[in-house]
Amino acid sequence: MEDRAEEVKKSVDRMFDDPLGGVVVNRTVTVLGKDFYRYFATYWSHYPEASQYSISIYERPTARFGSEIWVLYRQQRMFHAFLPPARQATRRISEIAVEQVLSNIAQREMERITTRNPDLGPEEL
């Protein structure tokens, strides 16, 4: 009986969660960028803590360096890299990117929570 009550409580709690939490916005333009986004979103969904954060993935294609990719959280870059034109490297880079983004978000959130100085804005630390 307690298990059923606990399940109901969890489902009610989920109803009031942020409906836009965990959104990954795709702002890529090339096939290479879309591959990165697809792999990144797949790896991102494997981490339960990632469902709290909404992020955006941007791409700027360049003829010289491949595609420039960056991931934003709260208008701050959490990851920035150039994707080589060889598409087979994209999967591994996106896996590394997810780990780095989660680590950087955790660090930024700790800074945001622990720093309460009215004289300094968050970007001035």
What pLDDT shows up at residue 5?
Answer: 76
Distance CA 67, CA 33 (A): 7
Please report, as a single letter, which amino acid is at residue 50: A
Greater pLDDT, 83 or 118: 83
Domains and CATH numbers, the chain: 18-115 (3.30.160)
- Supply the pLDDT for residue 63: 85
Contact 125, 116 (CB under 8 A): no
Residue 101: which pLDDT band, with cuts at 50, 70 and 90?
very high
Residue 28 has pLDDT above 70, yes or no: yes
CB 33 within 8 A of CB 16: no
DSSP letter for each residue of 46-93? T-GGGGG--EEEEEEEETTTEEEEEEEETTEEEEEEEE-S-GGGHHHH
Q: What is the pTM of this model?
A: 0.78
**pLDDT at 7 exceeding the cut of 90:** no
pLDDT for residue 51: 87
Beta strands across the sheet bearing 66-73: 24-27, 55-62, 66-73, 76-83
